[in-house]
Structure 1
Amino acid sequence: MLFVNLDSFDAQDYDRVKEAVNFLQRTDLTATPLGRSHQDGDRFYVQTLEYETEPIEHFDFEIHQKRLDLHYIVEGEERIDVAPDTNYVAVTDYNDDRDIQYVKQPQAFNQIVLHKGDFILIGMHEPHRTNGLITKPVNVRKIVLKLGR
């Protein structure tokens, strides 16, 4: 599934998707170390996270300017909110080192529920927030592939 607003679609942004899916299929994702790993220059790196989900309202919307986010659920389930409308209002300065900027909650966004084995690809400049519980808090192990051009 690729969910994107046509006005903000840039095909070049998605050149790394096949590479990312191959990585997911060929790697023991239960054994990747927590934190950042598998760095391939500016092209790609892996962020492995483990946490307990919380009410999604506890999290702020964020955007990235250099990388796509591919969120893959190894264990557990979570809600992710995504707005394909890239007309956001910044609430913090852009942090170039972390490639992150927090933005106001968009007026309209989609609620996506991911279960074990599911992934979503979030485009650059698409406001999103993650780690949301569905019905009750659960432990999640998630791989976020950060895909550059």
Structure 2
Amino acid sequence: MIFDTAKNLDFYRNLGVEDRYAKAVDFLKNTDLEKLEPGKYEIDGKNVFANVVEYTTIPWEEAKYEAHHNYTDIQYVISGSEIMTYARIDELNEKVPYNDEKDVVFYDNENPGLKAVVKSGEYMIFNPWDGHKPKAAAGEPAPIKKVIVKIKEN
């Protein structure tokens, strides 16, 4: 898990395989994120793509821990803020088994995890071994817009 700000994106460009992180960083740095409509954006086929989402945050207790076997998430907040929570997957209890088609497994909320308020221009990077719980309200539920860049790790 990494928590950082937009000014440090270049630091992460050499991670991973086949320049996939570099492609993700270039997308985040060279795209007018504010103008993106919700939806999926192809960057490098199934290796790197982005999902732009808008929603209203929810109480922490209602948000769900998840993890992915094949993809790393860069969850970058465009506007608004939310609490993102991290816990190692070996410290979580599986609630909904892994769905290969959607590359997601869900866990229960028993672990309080490490919480961070992520604001506009900030992001968290969650690797396949990182349980993460996005969507939680930082105070009262409020609108948020973010882009989740998915990087294939295998």
TM-score by length of structure 1 reads 0.84
- Correspondence for 1:47 among 26, 45, 51: 51
Structure with the largest fraction of strand: 2
Match of 1:93, SS state, is strand
User: Who is 1:27 aligned against?
Assistant: 31
Contact 1:49 1:142 in 2 (8 A): yes
> Gapped runs of 5+ residues in structure 1?
4-10
Partner of 1:86: 89
1:113 aligns with 2:112: no
Note closer, same or farther for the CA distance 1:129–1:147 as it changes in structure 2 (3 Å cut).
same
Aligned partner of 1:2 in structure 2 is: 2
Q: CA deviation at 1:91?
A: 1.5
- Say what the alpha-carbon RMSD is for the aligned residues: 2.2
More helix by share: 2
> How many positions carry a matched residue from both structures?
141
Structure 2 residue identity aligned to 1:130:
P
Q: CA shift at 1:119, angstroms?
A: 0.7
The 5 A counterparts of 1:118-133 are: 118-133=122-137
**How many percent of aligned residue pairs carry the same amino acid?**
26
Aligned to 2:144, the other structure's residue is in SS state: strand
Normalising by structure 2, report the TM-score.
0.81
